[in-house]
Structure 1
């Protein structure tokens, strides 16, 4: 995925990546973690009544130039641009979110990257439940510890994978996917659905998530939470406090 305005050094500066990137696993892992720790998952555009653009140039301008975040199509889109610039092969895949009470269509986009013949699931856009570094597609039915979180990848058919997270001692289904390659353009209908349908969680309220080395900050409507290995801090905030939190905790300017 390419954009005429994508400039790798500018992207690396945006996410605070140090050193020279190479088409290897160390770079893949560090790129993913640095972006997660600097580019928030957020739906400010949807809350303002706008459908986020999936045009590569628009994604790059929003995240790199205007220092915003975005939801799955945007944050995984900019990550794909970086992988292409570095020389790491990848493909988009469609995933079916499993965190809802009813069965949903495959509205989520994730990435499978290839390094030295090994395929890695990369995803920077699943909000507070998301993985924090690449997951090897060969690591089936084992506990995968990432910082303070634990994940598991299993299969549900001869072609479909299921990603799970260990929550309160039980496995929670996150999403299922397969290796069928997609283009970001294929997600235009899903993007419109997520940005306009009244049942969409992105339409119903503000959602902002920023991962940190020691935890994650989350803003859902008027509830702010910070989750870490040491526990959970939670508070209800006013509209004025939300604007301050966006700047102070998520490095966002709500007017951009």
Structure 2
């Protein structure tokens, strides 16, 4: 174990504005997920800043905790898994494929989510701080009925077997629309390297075609994409165009706590980045 880990966990809790829970129960998991979503942005800026993305626990903690940055799913859920384990939760990494246009599934290891077991007999839980606009609270992984959340109505259902192979995959739906297909078999962090490489290099990945930086707020969410700042409160959406580089850098600092010395440079134009 990294000898810095206990101190890093204390810093991690401070980073998200949380106190160390008395026990690793469902209430603690719920609080930690919400605070993480509110404090740590979902962002793909490393891709456009020319920064490497290293899927190793120490590197993820250095980025999120020491560097006070965000990341995309592999980084955010990878780091969150380290925090939860150190606090006493049992955590399993799960791979998922995101439902895209017309329900088409993305690549294997398109997304990382977490299966979390608490010590109070509840769950197991599906925890996720890396899917952009998604559930505010952990979902009960084995519940096949509607689960009400401040961000919508979620349901987890058995997915149809593909090509005769049935691994017990699960579809996660929000307000009736499929979000991603979850493979319940345990994975390790290194398994996601190919997916991360694809999303940071492929012209077919939305992440290489635009910048995105987004986080939960108490009433909705705030997102900066390119030079457009979007604030959503309930059903209301407000867009603010930003002009100069200094305005954009100031917005990163003010709304996301990111202190960048230069703007990320997008290699090409294209549609907005996906949720995962």
TM-score (norm 2): 0.84
The residue that corresponds to 1:135 in the other structure is 139
CA 199–222 in structure 1, closer or farther in 2 if over 3 Å, else same: farther
Query: What are the equivalent positions in structure 2 for 1:84-163 lying under 5 Å apart?
Result: 84-100=85-101, 102-106=104-108, 107-115=110-118, 116=121, 118-128=123-133, 130-142=134-146, 144-157=147-160, 159-163=168-172
**Is the contact made by 2:26 and 2:122 (CA closer than 8 Å) also made in structure 1?**
no
The residue that corresponds to 2:69 in the other structure is 68
CA 239–190 in structure 1, closer or farther in 2 if over 3 Å, else same: farther
- Which stretches in structure 1 are left out of the alignment for 5+ residues? none
The residue that corresponds to 2:239 in the other structure is 234
CA 4–185 in structure 1, closer or farther in 2 if over 3 Å, else same: farther
| Pairwise CA RMSD | 1.9
Structure 1 CA distance, aligned partners of 2:179 and 2:23?
Answer: 31
Structure 1 CA distance, aligned partners of 2:49 and 2:205?
Answer: 14
Structure 2 CA distance, aligned partners of 1:88 and 1:37?
Answer: 21
The residue that corresponds to 1:5 in the other structure is 4
The residue that corresponds to 1:165 in the other structure is 174
Q: Secondary structure at the match of 1:249?
A: helix
Structure 1 CA distance, aligned partners of 2:41 and 2:22?
Answer: 22
Structure 2 CA distance, aligned partners of 1:225 and 1:146?
Answer: 22
The residue that corresponds to 2:29 in the other structure is 28
**Is the contact made by 1:90 and 1:114 (CA closer than 8 Å) also made in structure 2?**
yes
**Is the contact made by 1:51 and 1:195 (CA closer than 8 Å) also made in structure 2?**
no
**Is the contact made by 1:71 and 1:125 (CA closer than 8 Å) also made in structure 2?**
yes
Structure 1 CA distance, aligned partners of 2:114 and 2:59?
Answer: 20
Give runs of ≥4 in structure 1 deviating > 6 Å: none
CA 52–21 in structure 1, closer or farther in 2 if over 3 Å, else same: farther
Q: Could you tell which deviates more after superposition, 66-75 or 215-224?
A: 215-224
